[in-house]
Structure 1
Amino acid sequence: MSTVHSDDAILKNFKTNIELMLVKHGLTDVELSERAGFDDKGQVNAILNSTSLPNMAVPMRLADALRVPVETLLRDPKEHLSQKLEVLPLQDVDARAAQLMTAIFKATEKTLERFGDRPTMDSIIAWWKETGGSLVQCDQLSPHFDLVEANSSGGVPGVQHMGAMGLSATTLRSQQSARLEQFLATLNKTDLDELNTHIRTVSHSGVGMISPQTRVVELPELGDPIEVSFVRLMLPVTDISGQPYVLNYSTLLSESTPRRQEGRILKN
């Protein structure tokens, strides 16, 4: 049976899981704040005493610092602390994960700034449902999303379209598909494999996917590296000839200077 995740429940789970992780790793809240790269060393303490959900970039950075999936910090502690393992069909696991991530995003989306007529994820999904994912009726939305080839061979995905007002174009300061492919070529093998897996999954299943992401953008022509945290929506779509693509629409959560260790930039 599915569980409804309210804002209060997610916040309670988040705070409880942080406390448990502090004990497990023998860390103080200040040490975890430092490990996560927060400028404010009291950030974790503030979270533990907060009455509202933080920006989604916060749990993503904490999860990275603790080397656990972000879902681990947000779900009911009983689910991953229990000694009993529940065997579920793969589709049920996917459904639960999708429900949780959607609930988390909707809860934290309230804090995101809105710029002009920029569409929300809900409006993109509504368009997709109404049109069946046909790109014939997307003139108003196309400046905000990217299209990648659905049949990825495992290398750098081919970029068919790069929306001029999308997160990729604004971050990379270019509307050229080649620039996005150039950036994708800088991803490490793990991140690139994950991206291709998501593309294939969305394309073959016919179902969309929402996931939190963090990327370090480091291209010489862009100047200093930046760490970008965002929520990515992927949807299967087709053009007028029936050619399949995967639509990529991302909402920015935060930009920051990448954390460094011994002179090296730490990449996720």
Structure 2
Amino acid sequence: MDDAVGEAGLVDQFEELPRREGGPLARLEDERVPGRHPRFDLSAFAGAVRHEETGFVDPYTFAVTLKEDAEARGATVSTDTEVTGLRTDGGRVAGVETEAGSVDAPRVVVAAGWRTERFLREQVRLPIRPYRTQCAVLDPGRELDAEFPMGWVPGEHVYFRPEPNGDLLVGGWSFAEDDPEGASEREDEAFRDHVADLVPGFLRDFDRARFVNGWAGVDGATPDTRPIVDAPDDGPEGLVVATGFHGRGVMTAPVAASAVRELVGGPAAPFSLSTFALDRFDSRSRDFEFSSISAGD
């Protein structure tokens, strides 16, 4: 995990700062920003709202660390093994079918992103809609310093953060995807053009930044942008779902894990699970208006 670097949201106009649990907020007027973050040029903005005590992780390193820790505690992790179906017996979960054979289990947690809805369609209806998001990495020529924050730009559907090697990652550009299976895993030219036009407008010395690489992926969204972590009443007994994280799965992993642990019979989570309950939705329809959390509005 990288050290906390702070998070800055650029703003077009200042209003009363919203309350935020878990860390203080600071308002940085345009003229104050260069002293703290000299690479920023906020002449086109009123300034920035800084969220203190924040940071970011490298998702790959995080996932590998969790895998190794789980295996050290006796878990078996099977990669490149497709789970083809859920087995039930008399209204209870009995296990899963995989391409490598059957696995017996009295409880099954399905946390398969946008595929969770399709995988469980015969057992329970879930209001999950696929959406596609993209990333691009830029080499600024001169490495970003250790104090460079992560942040977002209002209304532009992007966020940004430094890479450990001093490059800049710009992500977002998230829109509903009607063909998730056929969606390209490469970033779009339109996204690269958007990044190329946008970044030099608020960062100095980026007009000749070099494109390093990019990619795209599909995730699952819910109507209210909050995940579903629940043991659905209308599903088979022993089934737990954890899906619809709206791109924030890594960030909410500790909370989701505590909720899942309670749902599979472990200690109670130190918070109410009602926030993530499936029955909070009046409709289970998959046809809802997608809201992008990367818009930064």
TM interval, short-chain normalised: under 0.3
TM-score (normalised: structure 2): 0.21
TM-score (normalised: structure 1): 0.23
Which structure: greater strand fraction?
A: 2
Larger Rg: 2
Which structure: greater helix fraction?
A: 1
